[in-house]
Chains A and B, each alone.
Chain A
Amino acid sequence: GQQLNQSPQSMFIQEGEDVSMNCTSSSIFNTWLWYKQDPGEGPVLLIALYKAGELTSNGRLTAQFGITRKDSFLNISASIPSDVGIYFCAGPVKYSGGGADGLTFGKGTHLIIQP
């Protein structure tokens, strides 16, 4: 199936620093979604991207849909303690079940903010 390669796997940063993470695929996606998951919670949608080259912001978060449609980037500016968590990229795929498009997820980027 279509796999998403997400990097880095984890990031140790200082509060106030900017963060960058990316997601790549060998297949073309027509939608990229970025989620954040806190421990013991479900993922929360941060940003949705629908057009190649699109750059979308949500507060201190900015995400871009790569021109090749095979990658996406998420940037967080001026990190704060509540940014800690796991960030997942996701894209729609036709799974083997044949139903409506489910989502395939990257393995996540674990963001840790050092005091």
Chain B
Amino acid sequence: DSGVTQTPKHLITATGQRVTLRCSPRSGDLSVYWYQQSLDQGLQFLIQYYNGEERAKGNILERFSAQQFPDLHSELNLSSLELGDSALYFCASAPSATLLEQYFGPGTRLTVT
């Protein structure tokens, strides 16, 4: 168990809808990273937050947004969902912003029908 929690574990929704994925980092970790894992795209970095501020952006679509709250938990918002957004979404946390090691949560499996 990495100490990173993600809810929900599974999510099934329809095209055009909006969902929110939640991540609680390990105790004391200030950085949160979001990743998308799909069969065709592999594991892709989406976005990083450090102590409440956005630090780095990867291949995140404009329909997606994220934030990190004062208690350091993070939410990834996915809107106007398309079939191609079906994937595993992982969050990872790290103690600092320097990315020497990350601890991954179990993931949220999103299915868009």
Q: Do A and B come from one complex?
A: no
Residues of B whose CB lies within 8 Å of any CB of A are none
Interface residues of A, Cβ cutoff 8 Å to B: none
